[in-house]
Amino acid sequence: MTSEPKSKRFIVLGDTGAGKSAFINFLYNYHYGAKKAEEVFCAQPKVKLAIPCANWLNYLDEHYKNNNSEYNISDQAQSQTQVCTTYTMKGKICLEIIDTPGFNDTNGADIDEKNLKMIEKALKDVLFLTGIIIVVNGSVPRLGVSFKNFVYLLHQVWPNNLLNNCVAILTNCDELSVNLDSSVLERELNIDKSKKFHLQNSLFRWNPTNQSSKTMLRFRQDFDDNLGTIKALLRKLSEFHDVSTNSFEVGAIRIKAIENCITQSIENMASLSGNVT
């Protein structure tokens, strides 16, 4: 009898619309669905997804048919993920992926605060984290302001041994088309080249009912490239060791955020006072 592989638990963080759900779906399909392009781009694709996707609603895994974590799968300006949800994927390593709502939602700062509370609640229920997966839209040159602030807070209140177990997934790009300066990742997130992965998640923009040969070749190439990316990512994730949640205070994130808001308010009032005098 072979023993179950030891679980490794990662939390996925990123801006609204960065592609967290698409990344998780590609990772899930890699474990349980199609691993060959001919099994995807055919009359009856063998794709399996964990999260509802507009063009692939019929390919949602039975285990997640009642997944209510997504809000409006056709509106990329709003965070589709509304609650923290854990997805389990078993392969050479057993992955537990905690999906979280996105930051910089168009509904405003109140939503960011609500999301922060949900992340805190989700982490209070786990004994350890193995690392952090940052999902960034690599087609844009900058990180969102709210997300940058959140990452800054993490560096202040979470231990270095967890933050060192951090990788970045750059979506909507490959190594040639990426617009995000890699120095931003090293400066803001302390992520070096060995922890950076490009994922051109065009698969979930492709409509399976449209078999146009003009675009098929590009989609197939993106899919094959992504398979290589996922394999390299899994090798990197397997290198990380668990960090007990006892070693850091989850609630300290929100406390520090409040402190920063108070400090900013005081500085603003002082500035206004100086202008009046």
- Domain 7-276 part of CATH 3.40.50.300: yes
Taking the C-alpha atoms of residue 112 and residue 102, their distance in angstroms, rounded to an integer, is: 8
pTM of the predicted model, to two decimals?
0.83
pLDDT computed for residue 171 by the predictor: 95
Give 233's DSSP letter: H
- CA 243 to chain CA centroid, Å, is 19
Long-range contacts of 26-32 (CB under 8 A, 24+ apart): 26/199, 26/201, 26/203, 26/204, 26/226, 26/230, 27/89, 27/95, 27/97, 27/230, 28/61, 28/87, 28/89, 30/227, 30/230, 31/89, 31/90, 31/91, 31/95, 32/61, 32/89
Domain positions in the chain are: 7-276
Please, what's the b/e burial string for 180-217 (b: 16 or more CB within 10 A of its CB; e: otherwise)?
beeebbeebbebeeebbbbbbbbbbebebeeeeeeeee
pLDDT computed for residue 94 by the predictor: 94
Question: What is the chain's pLDDT, residue by residue, as a tens digit (277 residues)?
Answer: 456 678 999 999 988 889 999 999 999 999 999 999 999 888 888 999 999 888 888 899 988 877 665 544 444 444 455 688 999 999 889 999 999 988 765 555 666 677 777 887 888 888 999 999 999 999 998 887 777 777 777 777 788 888 899 999 999 999 999 999 888 888 877 899 999 999 998 888 777 776 667 778 888 899 999 999 999 999 999 999 999 887 666 555 555 554 555 445 445 445 555 555 5
pLDDT computed for residue 219 by the predictor: 86
Q: Which of 255, 17, 236, 55 is nearest to 137 (CA)?
A: 17
DSSP codes of every residue in 28-61: HHHHHS--SGGGTSSSS----BSS--GGGGGGB-
- State whether residue 11 is helix, strand or coil: strand
Taking the C-alpha atoms of residue 224 and residue 122, their distance in angstroms, rounded to an integer, is: 34
pLDDT computed for residue 73 by the predictor: 44
Query: With contact defined as beta carbons under 8 Å apart, do 24 and 199 qualify?
Result: no
pLDDT computed for residue 259 by the predictor: 52
